[in-house]
Structure 1
Amino acid sequence: MTGLVDLDELARRENEQTEWKENVADVDNVVATLSAFANDLQNLGGGYVVCGVREEKDEHGFPRLRRIGLTSNRLKEIEGSVLGLCRTNVSPPITPLVEEIEIGDPRLRILVFLQPATGSAHTFRKRSDGAKHYVRVSRETREARNGTLKDLLVRKGALEPWDRRPCNGATEAELDLIALREFLQRMGRFSAEQGVAPYLSPDYPLSTLVPSLLVAEPLTGVLRPRNFAVLLFGRNPQRFIPGAVTMFSIYPGTDRSDRHAERHELDGNLVEQALKLKELLDVQSYTAYDKADPKAPNAIRYPPNALYEALGNALAHRDYELVDPTRLTVFADRIEISSPGPLPTGVDIEALRAGNAPPKWRNQALAWFFTRLQLAQGEGQGIPTILRAMREEGNPPPVFDADQIRVVVTLPAHPRHAVLRDLRAAEQALVLGDLERARSQVEGVLDRDPLNFRAVQLFAEVHQARRDSAAVAAWARARLDELGGLPSQVLLALGEAIGSEQTTDEGRHLAIHLLDRAATGRLQEDTVRRIVLALRRAGDDERAFSLLDGQLLARPEWASNPLMLQLRGDTLIGMARRCREMATKPEVAPTTRARAWREFGSYLDRAEHDLRAALVLSADTRLREQITNSIAVVDQLRQEERPPEDAEPGAADGDTR
C-alpha cells in the first residue's frame, strides 16, 4: 500500500474520473474503463477504478459510498486478471498502478486501479469481441465511434486532422490558381516576382499553424491538394467533398410549413460561398425607424457582425466528412444557421452559450484562412462577438444548440421588427377583407406595445372597416391622458373611426376632441383635408371651417388650390344649412331667426365665391363635376327657402326699420 488514494477525496470529485465497482462481476468492463482513462478523450488526466465499494443514496437522496471490501483471494484474482488483460488485450499495453486500502476489517480490503492518461490511442479486445477504442462520456465507458473515434485518433496523433489530409482523387490541376492568387493578394502574401509557384511546393507551409497546400503521396510521389486547399481554392470542390454546399432558405412565416419559400443552393469554393452568403444576409439586416424612441430610433433587424461571425463559424468549423449541407434559414422572426457535426470534443455547450468556451478548432487550416480573409474573428473571439453584437443592438440573446448531428445558432430578430411583421400581417388581412384576423393581429401588438403609433392607427382603420366605432371610442377614452403624444396622423385615424355616422353624441364629442388635437402644428394638405372631412362627418362644420380658413391664411399658396377651395365651399354650405335649420324653428326668437337668415345668405355667397374660383382653377374633369354639383346645391338652397314675414332679412336686434 502506497497511500496514493484517498477514497473520501475521490468521492468528492467529479465521477467522470472514477468508476465504482462492488463485486467486479465482469473484469472486461474494468479493463475497458482503464483503457478509456488511458485514452483520456476529455483531457482529465486519467482515472480510477475502485473495486469493493457500493454507491448508495442517503436518506436525503444524496450519493454516498459504502465500503464493502474484497476478500484476499477475490482481490488477488481480480488484480491478476485485470493486469493480465491490460498487457495482452490492450494495444498498446497499459500498466495501471494498484492500491489496496484497509477498511477496518482485517479480512477485507478495497482494490483501486489508477490509470494515468497516455499519448496513445489504445484499443481493448474483449474476450468475446474484436479490438475497439473506448472513451469516457460523462460517467459511462463507451465505444468510440464515428466522430468521437476520429477526435480520439486526431488527438492522439494516430490520424491527421481532416482538413490537413490529402484529398483523395484530386490533383494539382484541381486548384484554381487565379483564385489562389487573388486570395493571397487579399491576405498581403502575394509576390509578383515569385507568383504562386512557391505555394504549390509540398515543402512550403503557409504558417506554423497551416501546412503546405499540396502533399506528396508516400508511394507514388504524386502531389495531392489537401482538403482545406480544395475547399478554399478548388475549381469544383463538390466533386470531391459532397457536403461542401450551403442551402440558404427564406420562409415568410415562423416555420417551414409555408410552401412559398425562396431557396438558394450555393456551391463553388468556400470563399465564394461566404461572400455570396454575406450579400444575402445583408438584405435581412435592414433598419426599422421609430421616431418615438429618442434614445434608439434606429433598430437594425440583425447585427451584421453577429451574422458574419455565425456564418464564418458554420463554414470553418463544420464536419466536412458528412454529406449534409450547411444550412442558413431565414424566418420572419429569426435566422437559424445549422452546421453539420457535433461540437468538437472538449467544448461544453453551457460554456459556449456563456461565451466562455476555450478556443477549439476542428479545421485549423480553414479557420486560419477565414481569419486572414476577414471572414471570421480571431481565435476564440467569434462567440463573444455574436453575444456582444446582439446585446448592444437590443436583440434577444442568441440561442446555441448542439447534438451529435449538428450545431445550430439561432439569432432572433430585433423585437421592433417582430412588431412590424405582425403589423404587415394585419395590413394584409385588412386589404383582403379578413377583418377578424386583422383585428386579432393588431390587438396582439397593442397588448405588447399599447401606444405603438402604427398599431393604434391600424386599430382605428380595422374597426372603421368593421363599423365598430364604439370599440375605438372605448379604447381611446381609457387612454385619453396618454394620447396627446401621438402624431396627428394617428389622432386623425382615431377621430375618423369614432366620428362615423353610427356613433353616439358622446362619441362625436370624443372624435371632435381627437381631431382638435390632430389639427395642431404645420399640417400637410392631405391631413388638413382628412381632418376637415372628419369634423364635418362628426357634425362640426364650424370647427372644420375654422381649421381650413386658418390653414389657407397660413399657406397663401393654397389660395389657388382648387381642392382646398372646393372643400371650404362645401364646408360653408354645411354651415349655411345649420343656419337655415335654426332660422326655420318657430320656437326661436324672431331676431335670432332673422340673424340666422342673414348668415345663411352670407355663407351661401361665400361658398359660391370659393366654388366658382375652384371651377376656374381646376383642370380635373371629375373635380370640376363635383364643384358644379356643389354650385347647383347653392342655387337650390337659395330657391328652396324664403324667410317668414316676421323674420325678414335685415331685421336684427335694435333694427327699427
Structure 2
Amino acid sequence: MQRLFQQSGLLQADQVPVRDASADDIDEHAFDRYFERRYGQSVEEVGLPLMQLLENVDLAREGDPNLAGMLLFGNQPHRRLQVWEITAVAFPGAVLFDKQYLDSENIDGPLEEQYRRAMAFIKRILHQVQGERGVNTLGQLEIPKDAFEELLVNALVHRDFLVSATIRLFVFADWVEITSPSHLPDALTSEQIRARRSNRRNKVLADHAARILPCRGMGTGIPRALHAWPRIDLIDERDGNQFRAMVLRPQAEAAECLTSTGQAPRKNPSSAYFADEGIRGDVSLGTDGMGWAQGSQVLCRNLSPASIGYWRARNDHPG
C-alpha cells in the first residue's frame, strides 16, 4: 500500500514522522548553523520553538521530526533508523564472497557524516598516483574525487527509504561498486539520467541536502560524474530493486578489443561494450593468466582476472 501511495505522489517517504523521535533527537547546534547560513537569521533571532521551525521548513510533522530532519540533523540517527547507513568493504580480488577483506566499516550518523566517512574510506583504499605531476608533489587519487562525490550523494539522497536495506560501498581490485537499495523512480532509465533527465524521489531531503552536501540538485550529478571519469557503468535492476554504479579502476589498462572489421583496438572496454558486442558467458583465462572474450564480431584480449570479475559482476554471471 505504501508503494502505491509513493508511486502516486501521495506519500513522500522523507516526510514521514519518525516513530518515538522528539526535539531531543535533533542536533540543535547543527540545525542553527544551517538555518543561519541559508536564511540569514539564527534560530534565537527568529524566536520560535525548534519544532515549529523544523515544521516550517518541512523537516518535522505534527510535532515530530520526520525522516529528512533526522537524516540531516539527528543526534545519532542510526538508533532510530538502523538500516539507513552505508556498509563499506574492500576486497583484495574480484569476488564478493572472498573470505578475506582489506578493510570494512559500518558508516552511520547524519548524511553529511556518512558522506565524509564514505569518501575517506574510498581515499584510504584507492591508490594515490603521481600522474603528470613532479616527484615532490602530493599524489592524486587514481579516480577523480568528483566522480565519487556525485555517486555517493545520489545514493544517500535519492534512495528509496521504504526499502529496509543499507547502501553498499564495495571496493574490488579493478572496480568500485556503489549500490543503492531501490531502482530508479517511475520509468526513468540509466540512459535518461546520463542525458540529464531526472526525477527526484525525496524532494524535501534533496532540497536541503543540496545546501549541505556537494551537489547542485539540478539533475546534473550523474553527467558530472561521467565527465570526471567516463568509465562508469550504471545498472538499474528493477527485478532486484537496486541501482548500481560500477566505477572501473585504471588497473585493467592492458585490455583491448579487436573487431573483425579491422577497426582500431578498443582500449579498456567497459562491460557495456562487452554487452553491445554480444559477449555473454564466453570469457576464459589463457595459460598466461590473462583473459580473452569472443563476441559476434570482436575479440578482447589481455583481460585481467579482476577485469573478468568486473564483467561477471556487471552481468550477474557467477563465473
Fold-level similarity (TM above 0.5): yes
Which residue is 1:311 aligned to?
152
**Deviation of the 1:413 alpha carbon:** 0.7
Using the TM superposition, give the Cα deviation of residue 346 of structure 1 relative to its aligned residue in structure 2, in angstroms: 3.1
Q: How far, CA to CA, are the matches of 1:375 and 1:174 in structure 2?
A: 25
Change in 2 beyond 3 A, CA 1:288/1:380: same
Q: Distance in 2 between matches of 1:346 and 1:196?
A: 44
Q: Contact 2:175 / 2:249 at 8 angstroms: preserved in 1? A: yes
Does structure 2 conserve the Cα–Cα contact (< 8 Å) formed by 1:309 and 1:376?
Answer: yes
**Structure 1 residues 204 and 290: alpha-carbon distance in aligned structure 2, compared to 1, 3 A threshold:** closer
Residue 67 of structure 2 corresponds to residue 227 of structure 1? yes
Secondary structure, in 3 states, of the residue corresponding to 2:207?
Answer: helix
* 2:249 maps to which of 413, 416, 439: 413
Do the aligned residues in 1 keep the contact of 2:51 with 2:64 (CA within 8 Å)? no
> d(CA) in 1 for partners of 2:34 and 2:224?
25
Structure 2: 5+ residue stretches without partners: 133-138, 256-286, 293-300, 304-319
Could you tell me which amino acid in structure 1 is paired with residue 16 of structure 2?
A: R
Matches within 5 A, 1:159-308: 159-184=10-35, 187=38, 189-191=40-42, 194=45, 197=48, 200-201=51-52, 205-206=56-57, 211=58, 213-216=59-62, 223-261=63-101, 262-289=103-130, 300-308=141-149
**Cα distance change, pair 193–173 in 1 and its aligned pair in 2 (3 A):** closer
Alignment gaps of 5+ in structure 1: 1-144, 217-222, 292-297, 420-438, 450-657
Q: How far did residue 197 of structure 1 move?
A: 4.6
Find out whether 1:386 has 2:225 as its counterpart: yes
- CA drift of 1:414 comes to 2.1
Give how far 1:189 is off.
Answer: 4.5
Which of 341, 349, 368 is the equivalent residue of 2:182? 341
User: Of 237, 259, 267, which aligns to 1:402?
Assistant: 237
Q: In structure 2, do the counterparts of structure 1 residues 284 and 371 end up closer, same or farther at CA, with 3 Å as the change threshold?
A: farther
Render the CA deviation track for 1:591-650: whole Å, top value 9, x for unaligned: xxxxxxxxxxxxxxxxxxxxxxxxxxxxxxxxxxxxxxxxxxxxxxxxxxxxxxxxxxxx
Q: Aligned AA for 1:214?
A: A
Question: One-letter code of the match for 1:382?
Answer: G
- Equivalent AA in structure 1 for residue 123 of structure 2: D
Query: Deviation of residue 364 (structure 1)?
Result: 1.1
Contact (CA 8 Å) 2:169, 2:176: kept in 1 or not?
yes
Greater strand proportion: 2
Instruction: Work out whether residues 348 and 357 of structure 1, in 8 Å CA contact, stay in contact via their aligned partners in 2.
Output: no
Indicate if the aligned counterparts of 2:235 and 2:245 stay in contact, CA closer than 8 A: yes
- Corresponding position of 2:315: none
- The CA deviation string for residues 570-596 of structure 1, in whole angstroms up to 9 with x for no partner, is xxxxxxxxxxxxxxxxxxxxxxxxxxx
Distance 1:275 1:418, change over 3 A: farther
CA deviation map 1:486-534 (0-9, x unaligned): xxxxxxxxxxxxxxxxxxxxxxxxxxxxxxxxxxxxxxxxxxxxxxxxx
Q: Which amino acid aligns with 2:247?
A: L
8 Å CA contact 1:228, 1:366 repeated in 2: yes
Q: SS at 2:56's partner residue?
A: coil
SS at match of 1:194: helix
- Displacement, 1:299? 8.0
1:196 CA displacement: 8.3
Deviation at 1:312, TM superposition (A): 0.3
2:8 counterpart (143, 146, 153): 153
Q: How does 1:469-618 map to 2 (within 5 A)?
A: none
Root-mean-square deviation (CA, aligned residues, Å) is: 3.2
Secondary structure at 2:19 match in 1: coil
Structure with the higher helix share, 1 or 2: 1
What is residue 116 of structure 1 aligned with on the other side? none
Q: What is the rounded CA distance, in whole Å, between the counterparts of 2:205 and 2:180 in structure 1? A: 15
Q: Closer, same or farther in 2 for the Cα pair 1:264/1:203, shift >3 Å?
A: closer
- CA distances 1:209-257 after superposition (whole Å, capped 9, x unpaired): xx2x2222xxxxxx11111001111123233323212101100101123
Listed one character per residue, the Cα deviations across residues 244-280 of structure 1 (whole Å, up to 9, x for unaligned) are 1210110010112322212101122222111111211
- Aligned partner letter, 1:281: I
Contact 2:129 2:142 in 1 (8 A): yes
SS state at 2:104 partner? strand
CA contact (8 A) 1:241 1:320 kept: no
Partner of 1:328: 169
CA distance in 2, matches of 1:152, 1:193: 39
Mapped partners of 1:153, 1:162: distance in 2: 12
1:373: how far off? 1.3
1:544-588 CA distances to partner (integer Å, 9 max, x unpaired)? xxxxxxxxxxxxxxxxxxxxxxxxxxxxxxxxxxxxxxxxxxxxx
Residues 37-58 of structure 1 deviation map (CA, whole Å, 9 limit, x = unaligned): xxxxxxxxxxxxxxxxxxxxxx
Q: Which residue does the alignment assign to 1:494?
A: none
Give the percent of matched residue pairs that are identical in Structure 1 and Structure 2.
25
The structure with the larger Rg is: 1
In the TM superposition, what is the alpha-carbon distance from 1:182 to its structure 2 partner?
A: 3.9
Partners of 1:267 and 1:204 lie apart in 2 by 25
Q: Shift of residue 348 of structure 1? A: 2.3
Q: Number of residues paired by the alignment?
A: 257
Contact 1:308/1:375 (8 A) holds in 2: yes
| Cα separation, 2, equivalents of 1:257 and 1:192 | 50
Question: Displacement of 1:194 after TM fit?
Answer: 1.8
Q: Contact 2:254–2:302 (CA<8 Å) still a contact in 1?
A: no
CA shift in 2, pair 1:340/1:443, >3 Å: closer
